A and B are shown apart, each in its own frame.
Chain A
Amino acid sequence: MTNLSLYTVRAMIILDGDGNRLIAKYYTRGQTEQSYRSVKEQKKFEGELFAKTRKTNAQVVLYNGQTVLFINSNDVYFYLVGDPEENELLLLSALQGFYDGVCQLVKYDLSKRKILDNLDMVVLALDEAIDDGIVLETDGNVIASNVSKRGVDTIDMSLSNLNEQTLIDAYKQAKERFNLAMLR
């Protein structure tokens, strides 16, 4: 049965280099069967998927009756799970868009650490790329630009102060303040 609806994406998953889940979002709207309901099922699926795709550079596989597209960069694996009948290239453009967007946001050279360091941006990028199973945007530039950058806490940091500091000093000060804020 050809998919005539806009619901095309079943899940977007990011795994680390050991196959552990970093982020996984399963979309259940517009789906009746084949959606992985419980977390246990999901993790099992991810584990098997990882085992199957880890050592290949295949980009696309059919797994468990679903089309799975994936992109690997350093120690992170991006997966997009879609309908088996869906146009693979359409799915690829959705995954690629999200991936590009994330890359831009974390200033390239994607890794597990960068993802965790920039969690807020990554989850927002995901939200901008896929809306409940519908591909919302496939252009990485747009996705990245739609994600707002982090603001600053309203602890005063006047320009005059900054002028007299070297960059290293500024960084140190920022770090201290931030640590303070985190500990509070």
Chain B
Amino acid sequence: MSWKKDEDTDELGALMNLDHSMVLQEARVFNETPIRPRHSRLLLAKIIFLMYRGDTMPTTEATNLFFSITKLFQCKDMSLRQMVYLTIKELSTVSEDVIMVTSSLMKDMQPKSEITYRANAIRALCKILDPSMLPGIERFIKSAIVEKSPSIASAALVSSYHLFKDSKDVVRRWGNEVSEALNGKSLNQGTSFFGGSAAQNQVVSNSKIVQYHALGLMYAIRQHDRMAVLKMVQAFSSQGKTSSWISSSNAALRSDMAHVLLVRYAVRVMENDPSLLPQLYTMLEEWMGHRSDMVSIEAARAMCQLKEVTAKQLTPAVNVLQQALSASQKPTLRFAAIRTLNALARTHPEAVQPCNVDMEGLITDSNRSVATFAITTLLKTGNEASVDRLMKQMQGFMAEISDEFKIIVAEAVRSLCRKFPGKHSVFLGFLSGVLRDEGGFEFKRAAIEAIVDLAKHVPECKEAALAHLCEFIEDCEFTKLSVRVLHFLGEEGPLTARPTVYIRHIYNRVVLENAVVRAAAVSALAKFGSSPVADASLQQSVRVLLKRCLDDRDDEVRDRAAWALRMSGGSQTTRDKYVRDDSTFALAVLERKLVEYCADSSASAKGSFNFESIPRISRAQEEESRNRTRMENMDAVLTGTTLSAPSGSGRKTGGGESSAPGTPGMGSGTAASGFMDSFEQQAQYASKLNAIPELAAFGEQPLVSSAKAVGLTESETEYVVRCIKHVYESHIVFQFDITNTIPEQVLAQVEVSMEPEEDIEGVLQPVVVVPIPELKCDEPGTAYVAFEHTDPDTFPAVSFACTLKFTVKECDPATGEPEEGDDGFEDEYSLEATDISAGDFMQATYIPDSQALWEALGTNGEAIETFALANFDSIEECITKVCDLLGMCPLEGALKPKSKAAHQAVFTGRWLGRTRAVARTRMTYQKGTGVTMELAVRSEDHTVSELVVSAIA
């Protein structure tokens, strides 16, 4: 049974090098009479092989081929016919006129044909069928669905499922037949090996998969009818019956795969109805005991993913998963279980804790994904006591694992450090241990970053950590890492009790290393020299060292040394400004601007690059955002893309508090990390706005764009509208992102009409309305409304009633093309009101050293007011709201009140992107009276301060 049984010819090679011109040559065979079924079948297999291998066939060739294949229908040989069906299906996407074979296929699907014929003919026919012809064959498909033979029934059900997308109405009519197949008599046939289609010698399926297909199709038909789905689910849940699966009545699921679907449907239809929840819990719990792992895992997973679930309800699910963890023969089962636990640990770490011991056993699992999941889950669930054991275990296998895996471990330890600062000595020991071992760059880098992190966030171990780093650079083969460590030593070293120790290590680098490292070492030395705590003798010795660097071979090193020497002579403030600046540019924006500048040939004529337009952020913020990407990357690696629910519990520890006292604006929590994104977002808005000629005239870029899009509709209505505000020099633009969710409609001339609810005569003047010409289903469009801000001294606080106006045209949901001759009718849809307040004019920019600015601004431009805010239940809630209203950048954990009773917060921002403003709030909370808040704002302009304060009112 082979092409040729001759081992010596390189038939394999020939097959691998097959190309389609060769095959097409051979295809003449199809035209011969009599037809040679075996030969033709092998040739067809070659054609399919070519397609599966990835060769693309031009349409004309495919069409020619197709027509010669149709001749093969003359031959009744079954083995050939099956291959013909398959080829037709495969060619149907490339060839033209495939519809030609419809009649041949229809003949084959007649009830009197053989089973293999029928099943395959149905599947092939449904692939090439034009939806308009469906009613013609409806009768056959309906009878095929209820056919006794499982393979015919499955073929018919699956084909109907494919057709459902385009011909919903027709397929819906088959509900009765589908339901019969689902509950069915065909299944009862299946229970006996001698029953049913024994005449045709069919092997009886053990998977009972017909039910899976029937259930899937049934749901597709009924999915919008909640009650029907609910009834279906309840019919199949074995409640109220004897729990034995064998003796249960007709309405039982014999297919495991169908049962998996049932679990999903049950969750889908019952989860959001509180009255059904108890029933859902009982059902899921029962299903967890199902004999098939597939079903029990699905049920356990469903339970873990429920939105509202208590630890008690989770216990059985966790038990099931725990058992699965120890299934040594089934890697996939282990994988499924640990993955579910990992996801659960994000939301309910305490529920996963009972599995800790089992998971520790999986750290060395041969499936790396399982091991990784185990480690990261342990990180989330572990408690302080288990850390020692965990670390010991990790140390044990570090030598045996690949670099890639080591990196994950290092990252994991890094997160652990944040979580259990008390255990720093264990971690540090571990990390310095692995640093001494062999390892690639990425791994060493991860370890270094972990130590750096530890030093930053756990002050007690800083000196030890720095010592380890010093030791590391003594013998480091990676230039980049040496530079990284030197930079960090420069940052932290000067603040320690004995800076001289580090200076010795750093200077050693100057003597021994390559130019890049030497330059970094010089910069680090400079930082020691210019540190505010450095005493005279230290400064003097640094200067001596720097002088020696002046005759270095490398330009960069000499330049840096010279510059550092010059700085060390200057005043403390200059030094602070240049050597110890804690703010940086928003790099993403800077990059984009520079690219634009370079691309625009006329730009250099206009003048040099304008750095003023680049927003500045604190280093802490930058680090924060990098941290976040790191966490997200790690999560993404672990979980695939879509498991991104609340993005990592690691972020909870990610905020971090400032460790270096005296440096303002360190670690401002999660909110700050959003700012990087918002700059990026603004840049995107700007380019979108500039693409519209009417709006581009307002200025190069909006001064302020609101950070968040505000929904003006519920998220599940017919039309979803979200609003974003852009403030220009003398214009205000409302951007409306509109999505049409009705497939049967195309909207034309969509615009938003805005009616001010107060008199804005002389302040705001509507100028431009940009409509969306055509809005198809699920293709979001953007409409704009622009106002001119005619009185620059008045900043209005006004709200607008918004209405969506459009022309509705009916359309074919399949193609999205409006029906011809339909002029449509006009319609309106009212939206929630949108408003402008003082906060919209404020750009949330980080201003370094807000303390000094506060002092410098003085009381002249100060506005103070006290508010009694009775309707807040906690400080946290209040501060978030205040931050939203002010539209300013929160500093220093402003959004994370440490106590429940009182809180202070500082915000910075630039009014209209220019005038700097600092706001300080003090708030106290008492049960009963709510929050009392004092807000003090200082800015360069008194009116601005007043306006900022008014934002709260």
Contacts and interface: CB of A to CB of B under 8 A. Distances in A.
Q: Do A and B come from one complex?
A: yes
Interface of A: 1-6, 20-25, 29-30, 34, 39, 42-43, 56-62, 65-67, 69, 84-85, 87-90, 92-93, 97, 112-113, 116-120, 123-124, 127, 131-132, 134-139, 141-142, 144-154, 171, 175, 178-179, 181-182
Contacts of A150: 1, 38, 41-42, 79
Given A88-B336, A151-B80, A137 B12 contact: no
Contacts of A142: 150-151, 203-207
B601 interface: no
Q: Which 4 A-B pairs have the closest CB atoms?
A: A84-B640, A120-B45, A65-B641, A58-B367
A24 B54 contact: yes
A2 B38 contact: no
Contact of A148 (B15, B116, B367): B116
Interface string B26-66: 00000000101111011011101100111010000000000
27 contacts: A4-B268, A6-B261, A23-B53, A25-B52, A56-B367, A56-B368, A60-B369, A65-B641, A66-B640, A89-B332, A89-B336, A90-B294, A119-B46, A138-B209, A139-B205, A139-B206, A141-B205, A141-B206, A146-B116, A148-B82, A148-B116, A151-B37, A151-B41, A151-B80, A154-B37, A179-B4, A181-B38
Interface in B772-792: none
Contacts of A118: 1-2
A24 B643 contact: no
A117 B2 contact: yes
A1 B642 contact: yes
Contacts of B257: 90, 93, 135, 138
Q: How large is the interface on B (under 10, 10 to 19, 20 to 34, 35 or more residues)?
A: 35 or more
A34 B257 CA distance: 24
B77 interface: yes
B89 to A, nearest CB: 8
A37 B525 CA distance: 54
A87 B205 CA distance: 21
Nearest to A141: B203
B383 to A, nearest CB: 28
B389 interface: no
Interface of B: 1-6, 11-12, 15-16, 34, 36-39, 41-42, 44-46, 48-49, 52-54, 56, 77-80, 82-83, 86, 89, 116, 119, 123, 127, 150-151, 154-155, 158-159, 161-162, 165, 202-207, 209, 212-213, 216-217, 219-220, 223, 256-257, 260-261, 264-265, 267-268, 293-294, 297-298, 301, 331-333, 335-336, 339, 366-370, 636, 638-643
Given A4-B268, A56-B366, A153 B39 contact: yes
A136 B52 contact: no
A116 B15 contact: yes
A117 B151 contact: no
A154 B207 CA distance: 38
Nearest to A6: B216
Contacts of A1: 642
B162 A29 contact: yes
A6 B213 contact: yes
A23 B52 contact: yes
Contacts of B209: 135-139
Q: Which of B158, B223, B301 has the most CB of A within 10 A?
A: B158
A6 B381 CA distance: 35
B86 A127 contact: yes
Q: Is the interface of A mostly helix, strand, loop or mixed?
A: mixed
B646 to A, nearest CB: 16
A121 to B, nearest CB: 8
B79 A4 contact: no
B92 to A, nearest CB: 11
A119 B643 CA distance: 38
Given A2-B268, A57-B366, A141-B203, A84 B643 contact: yes
A137 B78 contact: no
B297 A4 contact: no
A179 B369 CA distance: 49
Contact of A119 (B45, B123, B161): B45
Q: Which of B116, B209, B268, B370 has the most CB of A within 10 A?
A: B209
Contacts of B642: 1, 65, 84-85
Contacts of A22: 53
B123 A131 contact: yes
A123 B86 contact: yes
A136 B119 CA distance: 11
A148 B78 contact: yes
A153 B38 CA distance: 5
Contact of B220 (A5, A60, A127, A171): A5
B369 A62 contact: yes
B161 A6 contact: yes
A9 B89 CA distance: 18
Contacts of B123: 131
A148 B293 CA distance: 33
A112 B16 CA distance: 11
Given A59-B335, A154-B37, 13 more contacts: A2-B264, A21-B53, A61-B369, A69-B332, A124-B83, A131-B155, A131-B158, A138-B209, A148-B78, A150-B38, A153-B36, A175-B5, A181-B38
B268 A135 contact: no
A113 B12 contact: yes
Contact of A88 (B12, B78, B155, B335): B335
A48 B78 CA distance: 40
B82 A39 contact: no
A96 to B, nearest CB: 10
A152 B638 contact: no
A89 B209 CA distance: 15
A127 B48 CA distance: 11
Contacts of A92: 332
Nearest to A97: B207
Contacts of A124: 82-83, 86
A147 B368 CA distance: 37
B640 A67 contact: yes
A87 B302 CA distance: 11
B409 to A, nearest CB: 18
A2 B306 CA distance: 12
Contacts of B643: 84-85
B54 A42 contact: yes
Contacts of B151: 137, 142, 146
A43 B44 contact: no
Nearest to A113: B12
Nearest to A96: B332
Contacts of B264: 2-4
A154 to B, nearest CB: 6
Contacts of A30: 165
A6 B37 contact: no
Given A85-B642, A118-B1, A138-B207, A154 B48 contact: no
A134 B154 CA distance: 11
Contacts of A123: 45, 48-49, 52, 86
Nearest to A88: B336
A169 B523 CA distance: 88
Contacts of B154: 136-137
Contacts of B367: 56-61
Contacts of B370: 58
A163 B391 CA distance: 75
A120 B41 contact: yes
Contacts of A134: 158, 161-162, 213, 216
Contact of B332 (A60, A127, A153, A154): A60
A144 B256 CA distance: 21
Contacts of B46: 119
A12 B222 CA distance: 30
A117 B4 CA distance: 8
A100 B642 CA distance: 31
A78 B86 CA distance: 21
A152 B32 CA distance: 16
A58 B368 contact: yes
A2 B298 CA distance: 11
A182 B332 CA distance: 45
